[in-house]
Amino acid sequence: MKLWRLISLGSSMLLTLLLIAFAIALFGYFYLNQQLKLAGVTDWEVEFEKLTTSHIVIKQLEITIDSLPESSGASSTAAVNLTQIFSMEMPALLPERIDIKSLQLKGKLLPESVSASLSLINKQQLRLELNSQEPLVADVRVIRHDNQVKLKARYDNALLQANYDYNSGKLIAGGSYLLAAQQFADKVTTEPVSVDAKWNGNLSPYIESATVESLIAELSGELVVSITQPTLIEITSSTTTATGELQLNLNKGIMDSYQLELKGDTENLASLIESDLPLQLSSLSWELNSRDSLGVSLLSAQQAVNKARWPLKLNAVAKGEKNETIRLASELSIQQKQWQFNSLELDYVQLNADSIKLPVAGQSMTISKLISKFSGTVSTTVAELHSTEPTRIELKALDNDALAVLNFNQIYYPYSEPHNALAEFDLNIHSNAVNFDPIRNLKAVFDSKFQYQQQQLTGDGELVLGDHIKVAHHSQVTSDQLKSKIEVADFNWQQIPQLDALLATMMPQFVVSKAAISGQTDVTYSINNNRWRLDNGQLEIQQSDWVFDTLSVVNSNIDFGFSANNEQLNMNNAKLHIGSVQQGFALGPITAEFRAQLPFQQPMQSTLDLTSHTIKALGGSISIPNQRYSLTDSFALPIVFEKISLGELMRQYPSNKISIDGEVSGTIPVYWDSNDLTVERGYLDALAPGGHLQVDSSALVQLAGSNPSLQTLAGVLGNFYYNQLSTTVDYNDNGKLTLAVQLKGSNPELENGRPVELNVSLEEDLPALIKGLQISNSLNDVIRKRVQQKIN
């Protein structure tokens, strides 16, 4: 039933009752019956209980209303003066009190019969009281006193109070309503909600015409509807307490503006979130505000409901089970038409987070601070977002602090076609001091651009370690696989001191003093089965000097292709050049071309395919067969020596006791069996024309005494020219070296150069001998210290 009908009906009822009482005393049945018909009353019946000049009591009054009151055309346009109406004095003949004990209203106009009681007290403080019990429970009290009309009405759980000054037009009203508990879904329920309303404004007493439109046009003020007592809402196992307030500003019947404020707290938030998410939130505090201009008539409230754009401000703070904090502040607007959601405009969104702990690759990463700002649009079909300022993330992982800057240039997500989702963003991760034992204080910067399209993430950028190591990448990531092309730009080993510490931990016997390194490879990683593969790899190590245990290498270059997987490293087309190798004596230069396979779990099953090589040593050369060598098999390795200069050997290890020159050649067969190297019947022979041997035999002379043979030997070795020199070499797995040397020659200064044949047998601990030689003539302090440690 429309508002004007209710007002008209109420006015008609009051007028009818007054006319009945007035007619009994003054005019009689005929006039009363005529007035009731004008009010829409088709039938009425009255039973009096008391009838005096001061008090009328009606025991029962039944009224049948089948139509609305009749009205003339002039009445709707006539001006209304509320001051005159409300200040009008009641007729003097009207009794001081009229009571209707039982008022029955029925008829076609009412859906159900109404039973009520009514009292009219005609005094200086005029009072009208109406009480109803069936079918609705309501009571109305109207009091006129001192230029004011006061109204108090109650209907079920609703209460209304109003105070109107009909001289000034000041209107103050308040009301409350208790909304019953509701259940919106199987798991969403609310407790009873107490709603309060307050009006503070004006209603002009001078109305242009007796119409609802004219009445509303003279109404100005502020209406506030609020929920002041926290309301409990239960969703699954979580509970939310909420309060809110709606303020509506009217000016001459026009809703100028509104302001909406809602806020609440949600506990046990974890029950609404997937349990397998890395972050478990437990509580949420939120606040929502909306304000805007309307410019819509109160009588056209539907136009306000159909407002196309509703601006909102949202603030929320979520807490985690481990003191994690997430803050959200946003300004947005909802686009709708006839209660149908069209889109959501995100004008401003700021996301802050503190103390967020996430598991990453089996470790814990903590986001100590996150600030993100973005905007965009969310519609019924697609979401589009972008960063208004780059997202800054301060994080800590494995005791390392880093700053990540993430800038989303575009995010496009169509709900019905997720395979067509698109995202473009830039990622920069910077750390001034990466610390992993033993690497300390290494600056690292990762800077890349990424694009997500057709369910594939593509990225290009580089990783910079220190100031000199630059690793460029081109990567592709799908739901089950990562593929990346990696390229390491040329850098010098000595520019990154942290590499020495890293190598000392991984391979303590390996020390690099200098090297220039560059390389590239294709990386494939299967996410489902945790398997990786390297393909098309290429590594170049140039101008390197390094030491492995007691082996020193100078001016080494190696260039090789490689591939690898979880089990094995394959080296292909390797080209090696070594300027010098020293381990007791110097070799070099050395060149070689080879291939190799190195199993990670069983390195003793490695194989080497030697395709070509050259080894220069002591003025001559050394060679071995170009073939496959497998450490799992036993094999013979004949080492061929050609034109080895004994004089060069003595120059490397000079002695003031012995000098020798000449050249030797021969073969020493080395046998590999499991983890041991042995030598059996190797030989070296002097090349023609022989050479010269000179030994300081003063100690031997003293030792010889009167022994003629030793005296002769001491004399011969003092200036011995040999034309034959043969050496037989044996070496067992205990490190024992056996040399059988046979010399033939003469001393021209002794016995007219008579031919002499010398046979010498030597046994030495070869490792100890080499160490001694290294100490006596070492080119590297690292080797000298290591050998000294081994001997001690």
Sorted by where each begins, the domain ranges of the chain are: 437-548, 566-792
Query: Please, which residues have CB within 8 angstroms of residue 359's CB and are 6 or more apart in sequence?
Result: 278, 365
Instruction: Determine the residue type at 692.
Output: H
Whether residue 451 contacts residue 457, with contact meaning beta carbons closer than 8 Å, is answered with yes
Nearest-angstrom CA–CA distance, 780 and 548: 11
Alpha helix segments (H runs only) across 533-681: 646-652
- What is residue 791's predicted lDDT score, i.e. its pLDDT? 37
**DSSP per residue over 753-782, as a string?**
G-EEEEEEEEEEEHHHHHHHHHHHT-S-HH
- Classify each residue of 654-693 as buried b or exposed e, where b means 16 or more C-beta atoms within 10 Å of its C-beta: eeeeebbbbbbbbbbbbbbeeeeeebeebbbebeeebbeb
142, 144, 256 from 87: Cα distances, Å? 14, 9, 32
Six-digit token string for 284? 């949420």
Q: What is the mean pLDDT of the chain?
A: 83
The whole-angstrom distance between residue 643's C-alpha and the CA centroid of its chain comes to 69
Whether residue 144 contacts residue 86, with contact meaning beta carbons closer than 8 Å, is answered with yes
Whether residue 219 contacts residue 199, with contact meaning beta carbons closer than 8 Å, is answered with no
In tens, the pLDDT along 684-708 reads 899 999 999 888 777 566 655 566 7
Q: The tokens 């041991």 sit on which residue?
A: 676
- What is residue 270's predicted lDDT score, i.e. its pLDDT? 64
- What is residue 626's predicted lDDT score, i.e. its pLDDT? 92
Six-digit token string for 352? 């802050």
Nearest-angstrom CA–CA distance, 56 and 50: 5
Shortest CA distance to 293 belongs to which of 304, 284, 301? 304
- What is residue 44's predicted lDDT score, i.e. its pLDDT? 81
Q: What is the average per-residue pLDDT within 633-660?
A: 83
Q: What is the average per-residue pLDDT within 25-41?
A: 57
Query: Which range scores top for mean pLDDT: 356-360, 561-565, 658-662?
Result: 561-565
Q: Return the SS3 of 248.
A: strand
- What is residue 701's predicted lDDT score, i.e. its pLDDT? 66
- What is residue 733's predicted lDDT score, i.e. its pLDDT? 67
In tens, the pLDDT along 281-339 reads 788 899 999 999 988 888 887 777 777 788 999 999 988 877 888 999 999 998 887 77
**Extended beta strands in 656-754, E state:** 658-660, 663-673, 676-686, 691-695, 720-731, 736-746
Nearest-angstrom CA–CA distance, 36 and 13: 9
Nearest-angstrom CA–CA distance, 472 and 449: 12
Strand partners, 251: 254
- State the pTM of this model: 0.72
Q: At what angle do helices 781-791 and 766-776 cross, to 10 degrees?
A: 140
- What is residue 53's predicted lDDT score, i.e. its pLDDT? 80
Whether residue 721 contacts residue 748, with contact meaning beta carbons closer than 8 Å, is answered with yes
- What is residue 473's predicted lDDT score, i.e. its pLDDT? 96
Query: Please, which residues have CB within 8 angstroms of residue 651's CB and are 6 or more apart in sequence?
Result: none
Nearest-angstrom CA–CA distance, 652 and 619: 11
Nearest-angstrom CA–CA distance, 44 and 609: 122
Indicate whether 435 pLDDT > 90: no
Instruction: Determine the residue type at 77.
Output: T
Whether residue 563 contacts residue 572, with contact meaning beta carbons closer than 8 Å, is answered with yes
Residues present in the chain in total: 792
| 272: confidence class by pLDDT, cuts 50, 70, 90 | low
CA quadruple 212, 215, 217, 223: dihedral positive or negative? negative
| 577: confidence class by pLDDT, cuts 50, 70, 90 | very high
- What is residue 601's predicted lDDT score, i.e. its pLDDT? 87
Six-digit token string for 510? 């390996």
Q: What is the average per-residue pLDDT within 462-478?
A: 93
Q: Is the peptide bond before 230 cis (omega within 30 degrees of 0)?
A: no
Whether residue 235 contacts residue 272, with contact meaning beta carbons closer than 8 Å, is answered with yes
CA-based R_g, the chain, Å: 54
Tell me which of 277 and 98 has the higher pLDDT: 98
Whether residue 174 contacts residue 198, with contact meaning beta carbons closer than 8 Å, is answered with yes
Please calculate the CA angle 366-369-375 and round it to the nearest 5 degrees: 120
Instruction: Determine the residue type at 310.
Output: W
Q: What is the average per-residue pLDDT within 481-502?
A: 91
| 237: confidence class by pLDDT, cuts 50, 70, 90 | confident
Indicate whether 242 pLDDT > 60: yes
Q: Return the SS3 of 106.
A: strand
Whether residue 152 contacts residue 161, with contact meaning beta carbons closer than 8 Å, is answered with yes
Shortest CA distance to 363 belongs to which of 313, 312, 399, 337? 399
Percent of the chain with pLDDT over 70: 85
Shortest CA distance to 538 belongs to which of 514, 512, 572? 572
363 burial type by CB count under 10 A (0-12 exposed, 13-18 middle, 19+ buried): exposed
The whole-angstrom distance between residue 443's C-alpha and the CA centroid of its chain comes to 23
Six-digit token string for 31? 């006039």
